[in-house]
Structure 1
Amino acid sequence: MTAASSPSPLGPAVLAGQVIAVTGADQGYGRTISAVLARAGASVVLIGGNSETLAAAASGLELAGGTAIPIKADVGVPLDWLSAQNRILEIFGALHGIVHLADKRAHTNFTMLSENEWMELFNCNVKSSVAIAQIVRRRLPGTWLTLVGPHLDEAGLQAHPQRGALRGLVEHAHDEDLRVNLVLPSRASSGDEALDRPLADAVLALATPALRHLRGAVLEVPLPPVPKVRAPEAALR
């Protein structure tokens, strides 16, 4: 049994009865987090922009004995998120928690970052987080929100104001009686569930009823390094 398919260390049904939405659920950290939550007994709603990969991810969780449904939505657009939230309520009648991946990265360095690229980063990571929190406050004040922010190893000055904005949102969300926490991985997703599992376990812990009192927390999660692929020896070329 691999680490990715192993049961939750907190028990196989610690999240039984919870309906949890995960954005960016068809790739990277979102996929690993969705799998861990499903194995802990939650009904997981996979949200993302690609219908085919979402359906494949949901099918995999169902085959493994979990409960999962895919919903295509661009959560950077508030109306898209609101539509997805309403659809979840139609299907399940409740939405207990949301895990929002606010971890989009720049593909250029800070000096060469264009205004359009910066605004895309801000919209995907910060604006979407604020919008989701606002809609939850208006319509589902009892729903918790966990943000997964830009990883701590990300190079470039542009990462710091994004993390700072997310920290500010999380640390003052209690002013609006919201339960919001932030998880910051030490590196980008490896694409390997076993290597990314510690982050998913941190998200799982925040979702458990035992920690329902926790809000405003910022957790930095160290992850094992990604093994470097050794280049083939010249003699073998």
Structure 2
Amino acid sequence: MEVAGITGKVALVTGAAQGIGRTVAAALAERGALVAAVDQHAEGVRDLVAELRAGGHQAAAFPADVSDSAAVEAMVDQIEREVGPVEILVNVAGLLRTGPIESLSDEDWAATFAVNASGVFYVSRAVARRMAPRRSGSIVTVGSNAAGVPRMQMSAYAASKAAATMFTKCLGLEYARHNIRCNVVSPGSTDTAMQRALWADDDGAQAVIAGNLEEYRLGIPLGRLALPSDIADAVVFLVSDRARHITMHDLRVDGGATLGM
């Protein structure tokens, strides 16, 4: 299904090998974008591209570590040479390290920020500076509702997502004069491998939906986990022409878990 403002455009999607990133990449490809799929997991991103091409869509794989500034610059250069000018960027690559603050290691903290915050900075900077002379572009960062609500055992993740969220809003402010829109989609609990890794047993989904007062965590008012497609639909809207007057916005897709805060 075509969505105005997506067909024929080059869309760079990070974290495209699995979960939300994979679903976002597929959603954009299905709507006519030329997808440059980026992930440090080379095999996974190549599998995605093979699947998309088999379905008649246009996609290419670019294995890269978004936490490596030099690698990001080289990757964006390669995409612009081999695929075309990047007109859509979706930052999805993410890392989750959990645990009490006193037990978090320096490496846990640094690795989390390297991907979730610095990675967003490196890729967005590389793409935005190329978009600016063309005076067109849309950037979406997939953050988290944890960026706005404190979470037990998730301090590094929440802090890194808060940094990425505010960075993206600042990016939107600075680049508005170049007609580049920058927005955030903040999922709540979503049925992905990352989410399932947090569950203690097969009842994990129901426990998340119900909430946990001991951890000061509300449940999900809509009574269901998000699917990756729910997040992808929000991304598709924000990068499309339907959202042409929206920038610096944080769209929560969490079933009401943060009560609209």
TM-score (norm: length of structure 2): 0.74
In the alignment, which residue of structure 1 is the partner of 2:43? 52
State how far apart, in whole Å, the 2-side matches of 1:188 and 1:105 are. 14
Aligned residues with identical type, % of pairs: 26
In the alignment, which residue of structure 2 is the partner of 1:195? 227
State how far apart, in whole Å, the 1-side matches of 2:112 and 2:22 are. 21
Q: How much has 1:224 moved relative to structure 2?
A: 11
- Map 1:156-235; keep pairs closer than 5 Å: 156-177=154-175, 178-191=180-193, 195-222=227-254
State how far apart, in whole Å, the 2-side matches of 1:50 and 1:204 are. 24
Pair 72,199 (structure 1): closer, same or farther in 2 beyond 3 Å: same
Equivalent position SS for 2:37: strand
Gaps of 5+ in 2: 197-225
In the alignment, which residue of structure 2 is the partner of 1:143? 137
May I ask how many residue pairs the two structures share in their alignment? 214
Q: How much has 1:223 moved relative to structure 2?
A: 5.5
Q: Could you report, residue by residue, the CA deviation over 1:96-126 in whole angstroms, capped at 9, with x for unpaired residues?
A: 1111115311143333111111011011111
Decide which moves more: 56-65 or 99-108: 99-108
State how far apart, in whole Å, the 1-side matches of 2:106 and 2:43 are. 31
State how far apart, in whole Å, the 1-side matches of 2:114 and 2:70 are. 14
Equivalent position SS for 1:37: helix
TM-score (norm: length of structure 1): 0.81
Q: Could you report, residue by residue, the CA deviation over 1:35-64 in whole angstroms, capped at 9, with x for unpaired residues?
A: 111111111111011222211110101111
Q: Could you report, residue by residue, the CA deviation over 1:62-89 in whole angstroms, capped at 9, with x for unpaired residues?
A: 1112111101111111111111111111
Residue type at the aligned position of 1:199 = I
Equivalent position SS for 2:113: helix
What do you get for the CA RMSD once the two structures are aligned? 2.4
Residue 60 of structure 2 is aligned to residue 69 of structure 1 = yes
Gaps of 5+ in 1: 1-10, 226-237
Residue 115 of structure 2 is aligned to residue 83 of structure 1 = no
State how far apart, in whole Å, the 2-side matches of 1:136 and 1:195 are. 28
Q: How much has 1:29 moved relative to structure 2?
A: 0.7
State how far apart, in whole Å, the 2-side matches of 1:116 and 1:83 are. 26
